[in-house]
């Protein structure tokens, strides 16, 4: 959230970060898929692991915005975006998708680490530091612990 400190006015609170790690995957999207992705990103909630619920009702709302006439068209676009690595499907849920956090993300750095680990099905691999000094201290401690073991 961006706030004017002299007036207290919220200047901007709606944003998504664009990461360059997997951005090349966007070049493979059709115009319709790209527009659908932008609509999905726009509705993602801050700090919720890039998870989006795309129920039949939600697909029906998206149809005219994307320029298609059936929910099957939306489902086909989603399937193709999963195959292209832009979205990931929640395996035990028909309607839950995750936007690749290495492309778009809504949240803070701590949420980002959790989201990438959830997206990649890993845990404890990444760590967020407040500054370079904190990172160096943690890495030195880890090195010392490994040497003494």
Residues 6+ apart with CB under 8 A from 104: 16, 17, 18, 19, 37, 41, 44, 50
**Contact in structure between 86 and 26 (CB atoms under 8 Å):** yes
Q: Check residue 47 and give its pLDDT.
A: 65
Domain boundaries, the chain: 16-109
Q: No. of H helices and E strands in the chain?
A: 5, 7
With a cut of 70, say whether residue 14 has pLDDT above it.
no
Average pLDDT of the residues in 88-92: 81
Estimate the crossing angle of helix 56-66 against helix 31-43, to 10 degrees: 130
CATH topology of domain 16-109: Arc Repressor Mutant, subunit A (1.10.10)
Average pLDDT of the residues in 11-19: 70
With a cut of 80, say whether residue 103 has pLDDT above it.
yes
Would you place residue 87 in the very low, low, confident or very high pLDDT band (cuts 50, 70, 90)? very high
With a cut of 70, say whether residue 62 has pLDDT above it.
yes
Residues 6+ apart with CB under 8 A from 101: 19, 50, 112, 115, 116, 119
**Contact in structure between 98 and 88 (CB atoms under 8 Å):** yes
Q: Check residue 2 and give its pLDDT.
A: 66
């Amino acid at each position: 959230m961006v706030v004017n400190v002299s007036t207290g006015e919220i200047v901007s609170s709606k944003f998504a970060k664009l990461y360059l790690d997997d951005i090349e995957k966007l070049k493979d999207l059709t115009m319709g898929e790209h527009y659908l992705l932008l609509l999905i990103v726009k509705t993602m909630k801050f700090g919720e692991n890039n998870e989006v619920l795309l129920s039949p009702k939600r697909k029906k709302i998206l149809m005219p915005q994307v320029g298609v006439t059936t929910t099957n068209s939306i489902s086909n676009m989603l399937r193709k975006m999963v195959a292209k690595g832009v979205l990931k499907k929640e395996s035990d849920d028909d309607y839950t998708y995750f936007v690749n956090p290495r492309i778009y993300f809504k949240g803070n750095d701590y949420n980002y680490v959790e989201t990438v680990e959830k997206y990649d099905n890993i845990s404890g691999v990444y760590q967020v530091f407040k500054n370079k000094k904190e990172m160096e201290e943690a890495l030195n401690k880890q090195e010392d612990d490994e040497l003494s073991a």
